[in-house]
Structure 1
Amino acid sequence: MIFVPVSRRLSALCLVLAGALLSACSSSPSPSEAPSSAAASSDDASPRLVLPTADMDFDYQIGGPYKPPSGVRAVSRDRTSAPADGLYNVCYVNAFQAQPDALDWWKSKHPDLLLRDDDGTGELVIDEDWDEALLDISTADKRERLADIVGPWIDGCADDGYQAVEPDNLDSYGRSDDLLKPADAAAFAKLLAERAHDAGLAIGQKNTAELLARHKKMGFDFAVAEECARYDECGDYASAYDDRVFVIEYRAADFTKACDTWGEQLSIVLRDLDVRPAGSKGYVREAC
């Protein structure tokens, strides 16, 4: 699904439409700070999407929710957490890998949807950085079945009052020992985007600059880019998404670089690698 680009400065009409939509949701931004809206499709009966605007002060809270710092207008939280009142809320969903605490459920209910080595051992393919088993998106049938599992999670985000969703680990194919291909990820992402749009949610591309050329075909509306300054990718995301990019840096030097170069255009935050809640030991949070 392709969306008409939304300018950074909202017209008066967009403000009226966004204000009317958001007043119905207790967790939505106020009309004066409302992100832009765009039609989900040409069908007038389809839900309308609320897109983030460029350079919204942002906080990344997927490690646990806490009161957003003053001035924050957008947050990302895990799907098991409630959205923040009055802000633009992005719902984090681990869509391409299995959470460690859910692995037993996957093994018992859907063992064939976990990616396994093809060397005869049948061992699970694991993202060793986060101890997460990869989901097997290698065939159309498995992608459809996985969409039937992940889809209700996305619906739940909408039911809870989120305005958007970020499906994580789009780049899991890069950790799959070549068992998965970029085309597999793009095809599954398209299914998730369709589900999100049907639920009235915008959907963000999580990392994976290698797939930016396919972002319209996949159906993404904005980006959530970790360490794009570190890897000199922020400009690529900014160009693809008209500056609707949430940037998370984990190193102070990269954060400074991001702010110096993109601080007037993109939403940039420095967080600790474990994205701990405020008040926890090791918590770090700064904005440009």
Structure 2
Amino acid sequence: MRRPVLSTALLLLLLGGCASSPDDGASPDREADGASAGDHWRPRPGTAWQWQLSGRLDTSVDVPVYDIDGFDHPESAVAELHDDGRKVICYLSTGAWEDFRPDAEEFPRSVLGKGNGWEGERWLDIRATEVLEPLMAKRLDMCREKGFDAVEPDNMDGYKNETGFPLTADDQLRYNRLIAKLAHDRGMAVGLKNDLDQIPDLVDDFDFAVNEQCAQYGECADNKPFTDADKAVFHVEYELPTERFCADSRELRLSSMLKKYELDAWREAC
């Protein structure tokens, strides 16, 4: 799940690595670094990236991987990034309901739990796979049809939060593996979002990780199973200056950057 922040920050949009910013003068290798794992992409540690979930999409950042909102961007945006040699990750919320999505009315009230701290969002009862599997499959079909290479499923650690449901670690493992399988069945890579405690159990099921604020909370070493498996860890901090985390990120082979909470185009890379 996205990190909780102070109440004043709840007005910010947070739907949600070290690469270069558009104006930092760096120009990393633009080839999307990664191995083929069966029929899907698998990015390697240290692969530079851009994560933008709000504002007009800025395609000028000189990195090989973009992570963008799957609902908000058409097939043509993905194709433009592909034409420029980028791999493109489809951001989706798979563990929480969002009232602003076009399929919001398809979710029965029985699977909607407590708010997760973000306006218009509520935790999902991930035990109800007979309800959620077809809904998530439809969302992943959308990502595939738009041409995305991978999926970033968000809110994948509900069992550690006050969801309104008695979720267990086993419930979370089953659901996260289901989401991974749905992505792989559609030829897309899939990333594990946060959920640090379950990394040892899930590293073989996922192709990369996406982490928020592991440096701020002293947790970055917990991502080591991914880098040891030659899988990228796309990492962001929001409150620490780069001099506080970049040296450790390089040692751990994380793809780290500083972003604003609203996840617009601005970035400061390691």
Q: TM-score range by the shorter chain?
A: 0.7 to 0.9
What residue in structure 1 maps to residue 37 of structure 2? Answer: 38
State the distance in 1 between where 2:32 and 2:196 align: 29
Aligned amino acid, residue 37 of structure 2:
A
1:112 is the counterpart of 2:110: yes
What residue in structure 2 maps to residue 259 of structure 1? Answer: 246
Aligned partner of 2:141 among 146, 152, 155:
155
Instruction: Write out per-residue CA displacement over residues 184-207 of structure 1, whole angstroms, 9 at most, x where no aligned residue.
Output: 121111111111001011110000
State the distance in 1 between where 2:104 and 2:44 align: 38
Instruction: Write out per-residue CA displacement over residues 163-193 of structure 1, whole angstroms, 9 at most, x where no aligned residue.
Output: 1101100112213256222221211111111
Where 1:220 maps in the other structure, the secondary structure is: coil
Aligned partner of 2:163 among 169, 176, 179:
176
The CA RMSD measured in Å over matched residues stands at 2.4
> Compared with structure 1, are the counterparts of its residues 163 and 109 closer, same or farther at alpha carbon in structure 2 (3 Å cutoff)?
closer
Alignment coverage as a number of residue pairs? 230
Instruction: Write out per-residue CA displacement over residues 62-115 of structure 1, whole angstroms, 9 at most, x where no aligned residue.
Output: 224522344211111011213223211111110010113249944x75222223
> Compared with structure 1, are the counterparts of its residues 130 and 267 closer, same or farther at alpha carbon in structure 2 (3 Å cutoff)?
farther
Where 1:175 maps in the other structure, the secondary structure is: coil
State the distance in 1 between where 2:164 and 2:199 align: 22
Where 1:77 maps in the other structure, the secondary structure is: strand
What residue in structure 2 maps to residue 136 of structure 1? Answer: 125
State the distance in 1 between where 2:150 and 2:213 align: 21
What residue in structure 2 maps to residue 287 of structure 1? Answer: 269
What residue in structure 2 maps to residue 50 of structure 1? Answer: 41
> Compared with structure 1, are the counterparts of its residues 93 and 155 closer, same or farther at alpha carbon in structure 2 (3 Å cutoff)?
same
- Could you tell me how far 1:131 is from its partner in structure 2? 4.1
Deviates more, 1:221-230 or 1:167-176: 167-176
> Compared with structure 1, are the counterparts of its residues 93 and 234 closer, same or farther at alpha carbon in structure 2 (3 Å cutoff)?
same
Aligned amino acid, residue 268 of structure 2:
E
Aligned partner of 1:232 among 218, 221, 234:
218
Instruction: Write out per-residue CA displacement over residues 152-172 of structure 1, whole angstroms, 9 at most, x where no aligned residue.
Output: 111221221111101100112
For CA contacts below 8 A with separation 6 or more, give which structure has more relative contact order.
2
Aligned amino acid, residue 58 of structure 1:
W
Aligned amino acid, residue 275 of structure 1:
L
Q: Which runs of 4+ in 1 moved over 6 A?
A: none
Instruction: Write out per-residue CA displacement over residues 28-72 of structure 1, whole angstroms, 9 at most, x where no aligned residue.
Output: xx9954421111xxxxxxxx0111122122111122452234421
What residue in structure 2 maps to residue 3 of structure 1? Answer: none
Q: Percent identity?
A: 30
Aligned amino acid, residue 236 of structure 1:
D
Contact 1:64 1:78 in 2 (8 A): no
State the distance in 1 between where 2:70 and 2:121 align: 17
Aligned amino acid, residue 185 of structure 1:
Q
What residue in structure 1 maps to residue 21 of structure 2? Answer: none
What residue in structure 1 maps to residue 10 of structure 2? Answer: none
State the distance in 1 between where 2:36 and 2:67 align: 19
Contact 2:125 2:165 in 1 (8 A): no
Aligned partner of 1:245 among 233, 240, 262:
233
- Equivalent residues in 2 for 1:18-29 (5 A)? none
1:127 is the counterpart of 2:116: yes
Contact 2:216 2:240 in 1 (8 A): no
- Could you tell me how far 1:238 is from its partner in structure 2? 2.9
In structure 2, stretches of 5+ residues that fail to align are 1-28
What residue in structure 1 maps to residue 190 of structure 2? Answer: 203
> Compared with structure 1, are the counterparts of its residues 95 and 109 closer, same or farther at alpha carbon in structure 2 (3 Å cutoff)?
closer
Aligned amino acid, residue 112 of structure 1:
S
What residue in structure 1 maps to residue 58 of structure 2? Answer: 67
Normalised to the residue count of structure 2, the TM-score between the two structures is 0.77
In structure 1, stretches of 5+ residues that fail to align are 1-29, 40-47, 116-124, 279-283
Deviates more, 1:30-39 or 1:225-234: 30-39
